[in-house]
Structure 1
Amino acid sequence: MALSSGIEWTESTWNPVTGCDKISPGCKHCYAERMAERLQAMGQPNYKHGFELTLQPQMLELPLRWKRPQTIFVNSMSDLFHKDVPLEYIRRVFDVMQRAYWHCFQVLTKRSERLAELSGKLPWPENVWMGVSVESEKYVFRIDHLRATGAKVKFLSLEPLLGPLANLDLSQMDWVIVGGESGPKSRAMDPAWVVDIRNQCGQAGVPFFFKQWGGKNKKKAGRDLEGRTWDEMPRRHLRVVA
């Protein structure tokens, strides 16, 4: 049985790696760290080391057992391109994604330098979507690293959005997700930042997905933007509908 996800832009999660460490301001209130600590306290064996980076080879072939085609967020509890994840292990993850051709896999990283460095050493099947997180102007360079990869579908997660992102270069991007930070110490997101990004996507012809306003009560804050939800998906949405 797949691990169903409450993340609005995916269906399931798969964690062949768990744990991470903070590298930029977007990581400050990491939801995955909080969740890992709870799972450790509950005695979940994959989290016996808490949020320490841990390879989980016993989880590698899990998607091959999921027969219903679905969209799967890879490493919702880690970062596949963390420096301590060996290239050989990353290749094993990509091998599973290639073999599980009936799923769409969404891989997201903040470590865009390593992504660009390893891109030529990895296969890039059509069913693997590669994304980078960009939380503020300081980290826009991650988009250039993504653009240089061999990924067939490239996307941006502008979450948690911590500042305006004017004049984005969205060339070769297939999808943009925007979201505010949630949780007890969440930082506020200005609606004007979201509207501007939405407008940039419209001008560039890039599908736009607004995930949430966030805040202490994200359900109450909702995800409507100017009177509607925005659930656009990549035009090259290759998942076969069961």
Structure 2
Amino acid sequence: MHDIWNPWHGCHRVSPGCENCYMYFLDEKRGQRGSRIYRTKNFDYPLQRTHTGQYRVQSGELIRVCMTSDFFLPEADPWREAVWDMMYQRRDVAFFLLTKRPERIRDHLPSDWGDGWDNVWINVTCENQAMADRRMPILLDIPARHKGVMCAPFIEPVSLAPYLAGGQIEQVKCGGENYGGARPCHYEWVKALHDECLSAHVPFSFIETGTHFVKDGRHYRIPNKLVQSWQAWKSGLNFGHLPRFHLQTDLGFPVSEEDMYKPRYDGPNCSHCGSRRICNGCSHCGKCSPLF
């Protein structure tokens, strides 16, 4: 996908949300070990250029980082500084970081981080209440201009109300679990989290139901991820917008609106996709078949 950058691959399980990790599942299908951590061939993706000399990643894009690993993984310590340098060089691009290791963030920020970079959005995973209560205080104590929460896989009820009140969290996202051993996600959990976000005026995105979804006491098995996303969109729970990133050129000037990347949501399923509000638009790869 054009909006994902995996500078390294592989991870170690650290919490209940890792139990049925999709990366481990997919690696096993390919005959690989998800616990094998290595730097990828796409390490320098933000600096790659087309044959015309333009950056492949355009100004204004939102790039999700380390979706097959963890940005603050200890094994990645030797590589992280170079990645921070690329993010600083591409201050015209927004980078979405997600971690289950917030206790490592403060000691592994760039030396010139200050109160945060305006193009970096730090998110933590809160798959259940225990992880929310462990990780959210750490996130709130970290200097960063953009902070968010991902409740996925959503395996138990989670209340974030105490952590939303201060106004630091810019968006909450949630979604059910997939692949081998997927645990149920309950609509009531999603609705309760939505209601907390609505009360705190924090944007909310329900991305997908997961393979096993429970609503009004009925258990639905939904193996097709496109259908999961459609059902999440159909719930009508999503509201709000992405954070406002104040992006800059390499000379420090604001990136003008006319030079910003304009996402196109004209793919076969974009109009009814639960992830639409947090993605870069359709890359027109041809892999999606229309649901309707």
TM-score above 0.5, yes or no: yes
Report the secondary structure of 2:96's partner residue: strand
Partner residue in 2 for 1:74 = 65
SS of residue paired to 1:68: coil
Deviation at 1:153, TM superposition (A): 0.7
Q: Which amino acid aligns with 2:163?
A: D
Taking the aligned partners of 2:225 and 2:24, their CA distance within structure 1 comes to 18
CA contact (8 A) 1:179 1:210 kept: yes
Number of positions where the alignment pairs a residue of Structure 1 with one of Structure 2: 224
Checking the alignment, whether the CA contact within 8 Å between 1:176 and 1:209 is kept in structure 2 is yes
Residue 180 of structure 2 corresponds to residue 179 of structure 1: no
Separation in structure 1 between the aligned mates of residue 80 and residue 174 of structure 2, nearest angstrom: 27
Match of 2:38 among 54, 69, 72: 54
Change (3 A) 1:168 1:196: farther
For the pair 1:241 / 2:241, whether they are aligned, the reply is no
Greater mean deviation of Cα atoms: 157-166 or 116-125: 116-125
Query: What is the TM-score normalised by the length of structure 1?
Result: 0.83
Q: In the TM superposition, what are the counterparts of 1:1-242 in structure 2 within 5 Å?
A: 3-4=1-2, 12-39=3-30, 41=31, 51-56=35-40, 58-65=41-48, 66-69=56-59, 70-86=61-77, 88-119=78-109, 121=111, 123=113, 124-140=116-132, 141-166=134-159, 167-170=161-164, 171=166, 172-215=168-211, 216-221=223-228, 222-224=230-232, 227-228=235-236, 230=238, 232-238=240-246, 240-242=260-262
Moved more, 168-177 or 218-227: 218-227
Deviation at 1:151, TM superposition (A): 1.8
Deviations 1:127-155 (A, max 9, x none): 11111001011111211111122221101
Comparing 177-186 and 204-213, the one that deviates more: 177-186
Paired amino acid for 2:106: A
**C-alpha separation between the residues in 1 aligned to 2:75 and 2:112?**
17
CA deviation map 1:172-212 (0-9, x unaligned): 11111011112242110111111111111111111111101
CA separation in 2, counterparts of 1:96 and 1:223? 37
Deviation at 1:225, TM superposition (A): 6.0
In 1, Cα distance between equivalents of 2:188 and 2:227: 20
* Structure 2 unaligned spans of 5+: 49-55, 212-222, 248-259, 263-292
For residue 13 of structure 1, report the CA deviation from its aligned partner. 0.8
The normalised TM-score by structure 2 is: 0.69
SS of equivalent to 2:63: strand
C-alpha displacement of 1:214: 0.9
- Structure 1 residue ranges without an equivalent (≥5): 5-11, 42-46
How far residue 217 of structure 1 moved from its aligned partner, in angstroms, is: 3.2
Q: Please identify runs of 4+ aligned residues in structure 1 that moved more than 6 A.
A: none
Check conservation: 1:132, 1:142, Cα contact below 8 A: yes
Structure 1 residue 62 displacement after superposition: 1.5
Deviates more, 1:131-140 or 1:180-189: 180-189
Secondary structure in 1 matching 2:163: coil
Distance across 2 between alignment mates of 1:84 and 1:227: 40
Q: Taking structure 1 as reference, are residues 17 and 231 closer, same or farther at Cα in structure 2, changes over 3 Å only? A: farther
Query: Once the two structures are superposed, what CA deviation does each residue of 1:63-102 show, in whole Å capped at 9, x if it has no partner?
Result: 122242321111111111112222x522211110111122
Report deviation, 1:15: 1.0
Q: Distance in 1 between matches of 2:154 and 2:175?
A: 6
